């Protein structure tokens, strides 16, 4: 943290902002307040320019090559799960997905589009390794669903996906401005990846059509199948990780989740 003080000066109070990397800080000097982060993605500048994250104030490179970014530290709060149903969430996510500037920046940074076929191959290999030739029936059925619907993922327009739409990453300022933060996992891929996760975890199924209408898309069969395809990949991955860690209770919960997903997907009629 010494190098942060070297930039700001000893008159600033600096505290850890938490997070898994331990590289984010809050800084305050009387009425001046900043959110600092070490080695943020250059993607941050474009996100700031589009008002998707709090304003980027400055960027400074240290002698060791590290980069410190400073953003506005705003008064506000994280969204709670119920607030994820608000139309402004759908509006902002749609603007993100359809931003050509964000897509161009990620492409120039060297990001390659997510390949669903590679995702499928990886999860089948993982399951084969952890299951020791005894594959739970629902896992087998889910893999069959993924196999049967690989063709539905063809020729889908690729967009910028956040890939971690947890409600804790949505912030609303005290003047009502909505932001989406924590872009470390951003990818280029099928927007159904983001949409499926958000709808599955936060939106009652009876409200999906209305939520997607606010997003600007119709809930038709192909979208529904694609969303469930990516949701199953996510839950299967969580199942494998918990199985490897010998967390059998958690693994069993994921099997139950898979069953709900599969039943909903195969019974869908539009």
Do 60 and 131 fall within a single domain?
no
Kindly list the catalytic residues. Answer: 164
- How many structural domains does the chain have? 2
Q: Of 73, 97, 120, at which residue does a domain stop?
A: 73
Distance CA 77, CA 17 (A): 14
Residue 1: band (very low, low, confident or very high) from pLDDT cuts 50, 70, 90: low
Do 181 and 54 fall within a single domain?
no
198-225 pLDDT per residue, tens:
999 999 999 999 999 999 999 899 999 9
Q: Of 40, 73, 106, at which residue does a domain stop?
A: 73
DSSP 32-69: EEEEEEES--THHHHHHHTTSSSPEEEEEE-TTS-EEE
Res. 112: pLDDT tops 90: yes
Distance CA 96, CA 161 (A): 8
11-31 pLDDT per residue, tens:
888 888 765 555 788 898 888
Do 129 and 231 fall within a single domain?
yes
pTM for the structure as a whole: 0.89
HSE-CB for 235 with a 13 A CA cutoff: 26
């Amino acid at each position: 943290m010494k190098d942060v003080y070297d930039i700001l000066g000893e008159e600033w109070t600096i505290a850890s902002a938490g997070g898994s990397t331990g590289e984010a800080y809050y800084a305050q000097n009387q009425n001046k307040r900043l959110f600092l982060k070490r080695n943020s993605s250059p993607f941050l500048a474009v996100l700031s320019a589009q008002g998707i994250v709090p304003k980027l104030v400055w960027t400074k490179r240290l002698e060791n090559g590290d980069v410190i970014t400073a953003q506005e530290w705003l008064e506000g709060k994280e969204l709670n799960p119920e607030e994820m149903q608000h139309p402004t969430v759908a509006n902002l996510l749609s603007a993100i997905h359809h931003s050509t500037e964000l897509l161009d920046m990620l492409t120039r940074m060297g990001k390659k589009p997510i390949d669903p076929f590679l995702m499928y191959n990886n999860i089948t290999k993982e399951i084969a390794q952890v299951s020791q030739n005894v594959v739970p029936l629902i896992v087998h059925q889910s893999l069959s669903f993924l196999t049967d619907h690989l063709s539905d993922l063809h020729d889908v327009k690729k967009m910028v996906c956040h890939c971690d739409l947890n409600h804790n990453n949505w912030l609303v300022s005290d003047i009502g401005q909505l932001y989406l933060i924590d872009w470390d996992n951003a990818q280029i891929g099928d927007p159904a990846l983001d949409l499926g996760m958000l709808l599955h975890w936060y939106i009652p199924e009876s409200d999906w059509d209305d939520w997607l209408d606010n997003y600007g898309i119709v809930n038709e069969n192909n979208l529904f199948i694609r969303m469930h395809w990516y949701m199953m990949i996510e839950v299967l991955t969580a199942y494998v990780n918990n199985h490897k860690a010998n967390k059998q209770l958690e693994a069993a919960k994921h099997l139950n989740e898979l069953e709900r997903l599969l039943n909903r997907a195969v019974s869908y009629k539009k």
